[in-house]
Amino acid sequence: MELELSVDRSSPVPLYFQLSQQLEAAIEHGALTPGSLLGNEIELAARLGLSRPTVRQAIQSLVDKGLLVRRRGVGTQVVHSQVKRPLELSSLYDDLESAGQRPATKVIVNTVVPASAEVAAALGVAEDSDVHRIERLRLAHGEPMAYLCNFLPPALIDVDTAQLEATGLYRLMRAAGITLHSARQTIGARAATAAEAERLAEEEGAPLLTMQRVTFDDTGRAVEYGTHTYRPTRYSFEFQLLVRP
């Protein structure tokens, strides 16, 4: 096969990252076929003029992504399966947009309210302290798809209605310099109340998919609490899991 790889030492991009990106592209592109061996690390390092630790670091990052599998005494193989991408902390807006669904958002509520006990507990703030409350209807192809209710701690970001309608909440937070770190999610189902059915153009009692999420930044601070309801005929959660070795 003789895959052509090269690194640019004058680039500020780390060498291991350059290599891992080229390998990932080769896998995506099909130049590295599933099941094929990657060639041993020593030889690969010599060919590229890199040290073995650097090459290992590149390979390891792809193993973590689930694209490669290492076998001691055998070599490193490309995983062959319809593996796409592990679950990411993604926003519904981005998901829809990358799926070509042309999302639209209608902001229903954008105000400041005192925190209820539930919200206060989730965000780690005092009860009755001020929090932002945002309610949005998310549409795809003009059809209602989900009703999103979010709470944000005060003084975190400017929640501008126009911006909220043009993009997703996560993108706004990232743009405000917040580095998202982790989130705790709960996915369930229940029957729609009359009010919920009205908002989503469903019948009362129709099954709804629900998701609650608390998102934390890298200091451990809760930056968002959300309660979402989805129309199960229009939306489902789909993701990839990796086994921790």
Partner DNA sequence: GTAGTTCGATTGTCCGGACATTTGCATTGA
Partner DNA sequence: TCAATGCAAATGTCCGGACAATCGAACTAC
Give the binding site for DNA (CB under 7 A): 12, 14-17, 38-43, 49-54, 56-57, 70-76
161 binds a second copy (CB under 8 A): no
Residue 171 binding: pick among DNA, a second copy, none (C-beta 5-8 Å cut-off by kind): none
Structure tokens at 36: 């094929």
156 touches a second copy by CB under 8 A: no
41 binds, among DNA, a second copy, none (CB under 5 to 8 A by kind): DNA
99 near a second copy (CB under 8 A): no
Query: Which CB atom, from 112 or from 242, has the smaller least distance to a second copy?
Result: 242
Helix (H) or strand (E) holding 92: helix 92-98
Assigned token pair, 94 = 């981005």
Q: Does 239 bind a second copy (CB under 8 A)?
A: yes
Euclidean distance between CA atoms 228 and 205, whole angstroms: 17
Query: Based on the number of CB atoms within 10 Å of its own CB, is 24 exposed (0-12), middle (13-18) or buried (19 or more)?
Result: middle
Q: Please report how close the Cβ of residue 165 comes to DNA at its closest, in angstroms.
A: 31
Distance CA 20, CA 26 (A): 10
Helix (H, G, I), strand (E, B) or coil at 159: coil
**Integer angstrom CA distances of residue 21 from 7, 27, 59:** 11, 10, 10
Among 51, 129, 186, 193, interactor with a second copy by CB under 8 A: 186
Least distance CB 224 / a second copy (angstroms): 13
Q: Residue 220 contacts by C-beta under 8 Å, 6 or more apart in sequence?
A: 181
Give the x-and-dash track for 38-77 against a second copy (CB under 8 A).
---------------x----------x-x--x-------x
Distances in whole angstroms, Cα of residue 191 to Cα of each of 140, 195, 196, 232, 236: 22, 11, 9, 11, 16
Q: Which of 87, 109, 113, 176 binds a second copy (CB under 8 A)?
A: 87
Q: Decide: is 143 part of the binding site for a second copy (CB under 8 A).
A: no
* Residues within the interface to a second copy (CB under 8 A): 34-35, 53, 64, 66, 69, 77, 79-84, 86-89, 179-191, 205-209, 216, 218-222, 232-233, 235-244
